[in-house]
Structure 1
Amino acid sequence: MAPDLADASPGTALPLDGGLSADEFKRAFRNHPAGVAVITADTEQGPVGLTATSVISVSAEPPMLVFSLSSASSSAPGIATARTVVVHLLSAAQLPSARLFATSGVDRFADRESWGRLATGEPFLHRAPVWIRGRIVDRMRAGQSTMVAVHALQAHIAPAAEDAPLVHHNRGWHRLGSHSLLAG
């Protein structure tokens, strides 16, 4: 009989026997849309950043969010060891930024006009309609990824933050808008 999660104490890892293949799991999630964010941090080597579709809010009191870092990302080690990060929630107008930060082997911070530093030192994207600066409070290995918990310390919400959100769905970028709403 398999162990029951209800019987496990917090922090206890249960065995992961069997399960879906990686291809089956990816296929299952392919049609599940996700918001798009760029996460940035400062390291001793300079600014790092990546595009993420795993950002979720988990608590309003205290204000907490979580995101996942793939071990395949070249920016993951820098972000995973940072003390603070900036999570940029993108609108469809920031598609070029989403593509740039999702591309390997390029200098994501080459365009000095597109980003700056907060008073606290973290790199941020000037055109992001919403960004949240936070302190990393926990990390948890989850397969080939690391889940990162962030306590939100500061937010910037531009008036244009009501622009159509950018989502990732079935391997593509999409804009949500009034045409996306279902009646009733």
Structure 2
Amino acid sequence: MSIPATSEPIGFASLGSDEFKALFRGHPGGVAVVTADAGDGPVALTATSVASVSASPPLLVFSVSQLSSASSVLVRADTVVVHLLDADDLSLARLGATSGVDRFADTDRWSRLITGEPVYADVRAWVRCAVIGRMDAGGSTVIAAHALQAQVTRDAADGGALVYHDRSWHRLGAHSRIELSA
């Protein structure tokens, strides 16, 4: 399935891209780094589009901009590793978001799982996934993945959640809690 870059509902005017970006600047997103290797070397990118879809079966989705240097590998990869970051992982989030750098130059920072996927060390958590679907959507590809294996290194409350909001990084923690959920 594909949603064309120019698809607009018949009879409706579309928001402009600047207006749409401004709208979502006010909607914070959790930060993750996605890695893969489709056979021609590892790639990584920082994503705020990771979302859980189902607990049974364990499914998640994320999107990859076609402008990303990692997109061609991520859309071909059979498996990916999604690193769920906290504020202690900010340097990795910045690395994955920086254009034109070798994200795997520091060989002490990453290794390969026994199954071959690149995984960064000392992140809050990671999940290895099998890609089960792809959908072109405008200038991005939405990737659906089935969780196969995970490792949690630190409790989510330990480092404070890392979120991206209004073009900057933020740490969530007890200081930012408004109300306990029921």
TM-score, length basis structure 2: 0.91
Q: Letter of the aligned partner of 1:83 in structure 2?
A: D
Deviation of 1:43 (Å): 2.6
- Does residue 16 (structure 1) correspond to residue 11 (structure 2)? The answer is no
Aligned to 1:80: 75
Aligned to 2:93: 98
- Does residue 182 (structure 1) correspond to residue 172 (structure 2)? The answer is no
RMSD: 1.6
Task: Measure, in 2, the Cα distance between the counterparts of 1:183 and 1:101.
Answer: 32
Deviates more, 1:11-20 or 1:125-134: 11-20
Aligned to 1:42: 37
Of residues 87, 92, 115, the one that matches 1:120 is 115
Q: Letter of the aligned partner of 2:132 in structure 1?
A: V
Identity of aligned residues (%): 54
Deviation of 1:44 (Å): 2.1
Task: Measure, in 1, the Cα distance between the counterparts of 2:179 and 2:79.
Answer: 41
Contact 2:45 2:70 in 1 (8 A): yes
TM-score, length basis structure 1: 0.90
**Number of matched residues?**
174
Of residues 150, 156, 161, the one that matches 2:151 is 156
Q: Secondary structure at the match of 2:42?
A: strand
CA displacement 1:62-87 (0-9 Å, x = unmatched): 10000000011000110110000000
Deviation of 1:13 (Å): 5.9
Task: Measure, in 1, the Cα distance between the counterparts of 2:150 and 2:179.
Answer: 32
Stretches of 4+ moved more than 6 A in 1? none
Q: Rate the CA distance shift 1:104–1:60 in 2: closer, same or farther, 3 A.
A: same
Q: Letter of the aligned partner of 2:126 in structure 1?
A: W
- Could you list the runs of 5+ residues in structure 2 that have no partner in the other structure? none
Aligned to 1:144: 139
Q: Secondary structure at the match of 1:82?
A: coil
CA displacement 1:36-79 (0-9 Å, x = unmatched): 00000013221111000000000011100000000110001101
